[in-house]
Amino acid sequence: MIADYNNMPEMYWECNSKYFNHSLPTPRFGLMKKLKWLARFEYMKNKKGKYPIKRQTILFSEYYDFDEEVFRNLMVHEMIHYWLAWNGVKTRHAHGKEFMAMAEEMNAKYGLNITKTLDASSFKLTENAPQTTRFWHWLWR
Ligand SMILES: [Zn+2]
């Protein structure tokens, strides 16, 4: 599935319900023209409000045609970043022990496969992706 403004909110809603007990408010969604980023979570610090962040956004690359399972795991990965930021959890590294503890708990509890990085070398590209010959075998967040 290619990320768009229908399937991102749909998958988000399902994951928020199944794995986060509906605890996260709906963020903004965005698409990026990126090969090196599969998905990403962005936000701004909120100096005044009740919550430590604002303008939170989940973005997906529009250059990949993901398997549904990969799409789901990527969404939950970004939502763990969101949950930690929303709840004001201080983290030294984006994928440090707080992130990995939640990822491992979700993997064990729900049979997910949340990882820090993914080998995207075999992922299908969309038609509008740059037509490069891919020699890479890199691991991407
Ligand atoms: Zn991440």
pLDDT, tens digit, 9 for 90 and up, residues 3-49: 999 999 999 999 999 999 999 999 999 999 988 889 999 999 999 98
Q: What distance in angstroms lies between residue 9's CA and the mean position of ligand 1's atoms?
A: 19
pTM: 0.93
pLDDT tens digit string along 88-120? 999 989 899 999 999 999 999 999 999 998 888
Q: What distance in angstroms lies between residue 135's CA and the mean position of ligand 1's atoms?
A: 24
CA distances from 134 to 6, 44, 81, 95 (A): 29, 34, 29, 27
What is the pLDDT, as a whole number, of residue 134?
Answer: 57
What is the pLDDT, as a whole number, of residue 137?
Answer: 45
Q: Is 70 left (phi over 0), alpha (psi -120 to 50) or beta?
A: alpha
- Contact, 78 vs 11, CB < 8 A? no
pLDDT tens digit string along 118-132? 888 889 999 999 876
- Domains contained in the chain, CATH given: 7-140 (3.30.2010.10)
Ligand 1 is a single-atom ion; what residues have CB below 5 A from it? 141
What is the pLDDT, as a whole number, of residue 130?
Answer: 86
Q: What distance in angstroms lies between residue 34's CA and the mean position of ligand 1's atoms?
A: 15
Beta-bridge partner residues of 133: none
Rounded to an integer, the average pLDDT of 51-61 is 96
Rounded to an integer, the average pLDDT of 67-92 is 96
